Chains A and B, each alone.
Chain A
Amino acid sequence: MNTNHDLPRLLAQAYEAAPEHLRALQARLAAAAQAEGILDVAYRTVDSPVGSLLLAATEAGLVRVAYASENHDTVLQTLSDRISPRILNAPARLDAVARELNEYFDGQRHGFDVPLDWRLSAGFRSTVLHRLPEIGYGHTASYAAVARLAGNPRAVRAVGTACATNPLPVVVPCHRVVRSDGSMGGYLGGVEAKRTLLSLEAAA
């Protein structure tokens, strides 16, 4: 019976598939799932000056942008729990936003046109985030100013929370919200990423 211990490994070798073959099969699965309407969440990652960004979209639009510091695996698990476990690495649905992000990081693009799916934000936080695109490219606004903009001037702290939990950073520009004294304040992608984005926009 000794033979049997060796057999699983020999069999596994005999039927081993190349990694690129498995990738091709996964791409075929993603295309079939998309065609059938069961690809609830598609995702991909892109490299950027602020590190690797995870992009995820539902059929409705871009639903999540995540920094590496948020841990992409954790973010995918959260998307699975909150939206649907039918999630695949399927770059095609993210092509448009990936292209726009590229243009943005090249300084060529000042706003994003892709459809957004806001379902991961609710209540006052959602109200705050919806107002952020009004802060123009290259400009900043204080947390207090955004609180006024969102219709609740006393909710300065809540604006900070809304920014810190923005499911769509970079695209929804919470990096343009700074302290009243002009200092940057915190950022969900790290202070360094905020500095990079603000200098990029100041330079263009």
Chain B
Amino acid sequence: MTLKQPFGTVVAVHGPTVLRVCRAVLGTVDADDAWSETFLSAMRAYPDLPADANVEAWLVTIAHRKAIDVARATSRRAIPAGELPETATAPGAGHDPDLADALARLPDKQKQAVAYHYLAGLPYIDVAAILGGSTDAARRAAADGIAALRRTYPGVAARKGERR
């Protein structure tokens, strides 16, 4: 029998990853709201979650929906179209602002596919379930996203070489 972890443990274990995903998809400022909504909603539903469920995939699925809600609410607060709010690309202090910036410029589907697969570590079948569409489409969106990142952020390729 699998025991269901106390929710506090779920927050401690998955909180950092979910926040990274929210930051990648939404930007740093809005990510806090999406994170809070995600875990509050997850906590509401947690008693009914099967003990053997994939908690990370479940949380990212909720985060995906909450991020869309938060993004809608933000855009309703009248930010000029075509201009990304500065906060949307603000990175963690001292780390690769360029990479965050490059990711922020990707189309939503690509950005989400990259975040859910590369940041949350979900297999493409789970990414596809979140985004809708086929596993192949999810894989393609992530590959397109990576290709675009490589073009706009060559550091990804260069750094690999340096580290060898």
Interface residues of A (CB under 8 A from B): 2-8, 10-18, 22, 25-26, 28-29, 32-33, 36, 38, 41, 43, 76-77, 79-81, 84-89
Contact = CB atoms under 8 A, between A and B. Distances in A.
B95 A16 contact: yes
Contacts of A25: 15, 19, 32, 35-36
Pairs of residues from A and B, 6 with the lowest C-beta to C-beta distance, nearest first:
A15-B20, A87-B6, A16-B92, A80-B6, A15-B23, A14-B96
Contact of B20 (A3, A12, A32, A80): A12
B23 A17 contact: yes
B23 A43 contact: no
A36 B160 CA distance: 47
B18 to A, nearest CB: 10
Given A16-B95, A17-B92, A11 B119 contact: yes
B81 interface: no
Contacts of B35: 25
Q: Place the interface of chain B in its size category.
A: 35 or more
Contacts of A76: 6, 8-9
A32 B36 contact: yes
Contacts of A79: 6
Contacts of B3: 77, 80-81
A12 B119 contact: yes
Contact of B47 (A15, A28, A85): A85
A77 B96 contact: no
Contact of B91 (A15, A43, A84): A15
B24 interface: yes
A10 B159 contact: yes
B141 interface: no
Nearest to B153: A10
30 contacts: A5-B160, A6-B159, A6-B163, A7-B149, A10-B96, A10-B156, A11-B20, A11-B24, A13-B92, A14-B24, A14-B99, A15-B20, A15-B92, A16-B20, A17-B20, A25-B35, A29-B11, A29-B36, A29-B39, A33-B43, A43-B8, A76-B6, A76-B8, A85-B4, A85-B46, A86-B43, A87-B7, A88-B7, A88-B8, A89-B8
